[in-house]
Chain A
Amino acid sequence: MAEPISAPILRRADYRLSEEEQALAEAFSAFFERSCPSERVRAAEPWGFDAALWAELAPMRPVAMGLPESLGGDGAGLVELVLVTEPFGRSVAPVPLVEAAVAARLLAAVATAAPGGPADAWVNQVIDEHKVVTLALQPGGGPQLVPAGAVADAVVGLLGDELVLGVCPAERAARRPRNHGFAPIAWCDLSDPECSFRPLWSGPSARAAFERAVREWKLLMASALIGMAQATLDIGVEHARSRVAFGAPIGSFQAVSHALADVAMAVETGRRLVRKGAWYAAHEPDEDVHRVLMAYRYATQTAMTAATVGVHVLGGVGFTVESDPQLYFRRVKGWTLVAGDPKAALSDIADALFGPVAIAK
């Protein structure tokens, strides 16, 4: 007779969407497809913000949906949010969706754990007035480029062990540099006295909440990147079917088709990686760190490859400003590099998987 074993751990690997999840993804896909054709993306260049589009999007509550019901949100989690940011990325909509959703969740975490501070009022303003709060991704003082900093009503960040929130004077917020990604980034310094940064919460929990928020930003951005990669893939495939050279559609040349096939494989796989990461982050937050970082790293790589393939497959036209792949080419880099070198995720993955480095005595 066999020795009894204690029940080993076996997990499901079920990537299917529920009917509600499917409906949510379709609703946002339909919105972005209808409301944000590439002309609208171009029209918002170079500053990368379309206030009218943000207002059109507001009734769908993309930010409020990720907040707890107790605070007036819709109680959705990261699994739902990645389904929203994928179609957002697919259309590279000029709205600060990822930053707004993540910073609002951070404020909600503060308002829940340490009620009575300014976070409470900001949560209300985010829900009722569609105010935009963004996240300074780098902890500490000194000037940094903050995503959506040029259009945000307030910035949250980590200074020392303190979560702080500041409202910069209008002329400060107008300090937006032109940039590669045509993104509404702006300089911000958490220690700048003129921006009147006020403490929201302090201590190890505050730091942990900030770190979680940065990971959530990476997760939602990873899903947006998969959407961006899918969009450039679709454009490339369409072109490869119809463009003829040497008497044959270029899609029959394997230099073209295999490059597209590689992107297709990475997009499909990256989407699964993101969904798995989102599920862990939502259900087993202690297990999620390396998964989210892996999804982010793989998505940045996939989206950048997709964009270069997209530009290349369209030939000379792909390199002109009239081509849509170049919209993605700029934004894949421009939307992500504000979080620092994406390859540095590897050293964070190592910390999460292998434990900290032992310091030699």
Chain B
Amino acid sequence: MDFGVIDLDEETVAFWAEVRAFCQTHVTKEVLDEEFETGSGFNEGLHKALGARGWILPTWPRQEGGAGATPLQAAILDAELRAAHAPLITLGTTRNVLPAVLRWGTDELKKAVVPGVASGDVRFCLGYTEPDSGSDIAAAKTRAVRDGDEWVIDGQKMFTTGAQNCQYSFLLTRTNPEAPKHKGLTMFLCPLEQAEIRPIRTLGGERTNMVFYDAIRVPDRYRLGPVDQGWMVLLGPLNAEHAMPEDTDSAPPIDQPGGMYGYSAVEGLEVALAWARSADPDGRRPIDDPLVRERLAQAALDIEVATVSTGPAGRVISSEMAIRVAEDLMDLVGPRALLPRGEDAAIGEGWLEYLHRFAQGTATYGGTTDIFRNIIAERFLGLPRQAPRAG
């Protein structure tokens, strides 16, 4: 057990300073305004600037396009970018898919895409969900049929977030409709040039997409792993997204305030505290009211619980915490909390207004909180298979 202060060597302090300066230069007000407007989760200039520093894959060696950073430095980089609100959804999905490409891609494919990932020119999105299947990922129907050295892909994906920013989708297809559900799937790193992308707007402001694959032709070299064994290929990135223990253990052991999904609530509390500490014309401050204090203390407690939470439990706890805290802090602050970023009288640049919408989505994407309760019940508590399921 150790929660002590980490002694940072000079190099790490210098690295930190470099990251701060980078954020000031590249995560500008224009970048943030644009993200608030578009919800794109990506900014090309920023992404390429990260690539130029080797910060897309910071722990990779320099000669392979990384920055040779330590895991601690990489964690500092992520924390600073997060605090600056840099739009990084597409960076996240790209990093998430890369291990599967490295593990399953042919040398030819790796040579074609990996240097571009490091430089920022090549980005990946996640093509799992379909109109008729989400939680039940393996029920995907998008067909891939072999035709000589090519595959013909036909179907529709839903919620392919960042597709508009990406060259490839990590695409889940069905290659054998006769086989049991999990045994007829094949994964592709599918080029998106021929796909049709239509935007979907969300309550949280994030943009995501429908993607139509209308009999597009894809050379076999874009296949990842064996035919019909796509489930095995998918599990790596899926487990990483699900914060399964084998993944979280390798992360450097430093606190992530608010846990997996709750950082925005940490900032929400800061906004509410600043509000509570400011006096009205009569000199009265909300923070001197016992009821206000208890609500703020409850939020602080909720946030600390999320901060220490980890793994699949952390996924659920941090998400539900953010939803609850956002909702309650809005009520506490009152009508002015309704004003969004850009309104003159907005409190904390409208952060609570945003947080209340944003937090709700965290309970759905990346596997819903209900699915996670199933996972905890089955895999961690050893309870029987949850609810009757086909296939």
Contact = CB atoms under 8 A, between A and B. Distances in A.
Interface stretch (A154-162, A209-217, A257-265): A257-265
A108 B287 CA distance: 39
A16 B382 CA distance: 24
Nearest to B19: A2
A258 to B, nearest CB: 4
Nearest to B377: A257
Interface in A1-44: 2-5, 7-18, 21
Given A13-B254, A79-B1, A261 B387 contact: no
| Interface size range of chain A in the complex | 35 or more
Contacts of B4: 11-12, 283
A291 B305 CA distance: 10
Interface in A274-299: 275-276, 278-280, 283, 290-291, 294, 297-298
Interface string B298-323: 10110011001110011011000000
A358 B288 contact: yes
Given A5-B17, A264-B313, A269 B308 contact: yes
B308 A10 contact: no
B3 to A, nearest CB: 5
Interface stretch (B8-16, B44-52, B149-157): B8-16
Overall SS of chain B's interface? helix
A357 interface: yes
B373 A4 contact: no
A297 B5 CA distance: 26
A17 B290 CA distance: 39
A261 B377 contact: yes
A2 B313 contact: no
A260 B383 contact: yes
Contacts of B20: 2-3, 5
Contact of B304 (A5, A14, A273): A273
Please indicate which of the listed interface residues A240, A262, A268, A351 has the most CB atoms of chain B within 10 Å of its own CB: A268
Contact of A21 (B1, B8, B13, B72): B1
A338 interface: no
Contacts of A15: 1, 308
A281 to B, nearest CB: 11
B317 A10 contact: no
A248 B374 CA distance: 16
B138 interface: no
Nearest to B316: A265
A354 to B, nearest CB: 6
Contact of A354 (B22, B273, B380, B387): B273
Interface string B273-301: 10010000001110110100110111011
17 contacts: A3-B17, A11-B4, A12-B6, A13-B253, A13-B308, A15-B1, A17-B1, A251-B383, A251-B384, A254-B377, A264-B381, A276-B3, A290-B300, A298-B301, A347-B293, A349-B300, A360-B284
